[in-house]
Structure 1
């Protein structure tokens, strides 16, 4: 979008181009949800090019790949990991187990149920359908473990009765991190939330530590 001919009527394609730049900016953490929604509404109701230009003037050109300094290391960039189609919205296990791990995309709402069984939800390599995700865990005489990377924003609000709902994995994430709220109920069972680094990052840090010891 340029400043040329600001009074010219905007086309549907130009409105959609502006909307896409706004979506990318939100996924990168440049816009919060309220500001994104405000600008998106303005984009779709804009009549002229001049009304579209201010909506993206303070944003980088789409696809420029600009990442804030200090956030380009492994596990710290969320660019490209938000806004993908969900591959799973739930897991159920009865006298068995279910697992969601590795490269997958979690739906904006995910429901896990474990009845005398176990469940695993690993978000360390996962992509996200939305920036706001709710994980509902229900454990009946069983257990569910949710594993999250250290950079993810996590809230835990579940309850346990004759069981436990562990909130030790709750905490703030890095700028641009998706927000995940883990809720639900554990009856004579347990739900655990733990923070762990990715396996590849663990190996990288170990190599750096060993190299530092050799240099010392």
Structure 2
């Protein structure tokens, strides 16, 4: 069977491993989301659920995950997460935390110390 899943997918790289309850839960959640989004027909959804709960190994799950929307492998960092504004609007200023103030003060103190030492030595 040809598969568009990457070779790094556990369903292809370790097909003989047994399916655990956590994997069944994750896949049933993905199937439910795809069905609710309208990307799976009712008959296809039911057939995939039947295969999911009948599967004994990860390799048997390839037809279940085949064609499902991919999982997000990252989240947006807080620095670029939307604050709810429209494009082009300025975002409200973020307040610095105490660690930032201490770090800046420490660096400024170190620079001042180096300058004083250079003045004394020259």
What is the TM-score when the length of structure 2 is the normalising length?
Answer: 0.47
Higher-Rg structure is 2
Structure with the bigger RCO (C-alpha within 8 Å, sep 6+) is: 2
TM (normalized to structure 1)?
0.28
Structure ranking higher in helix proportion: 2
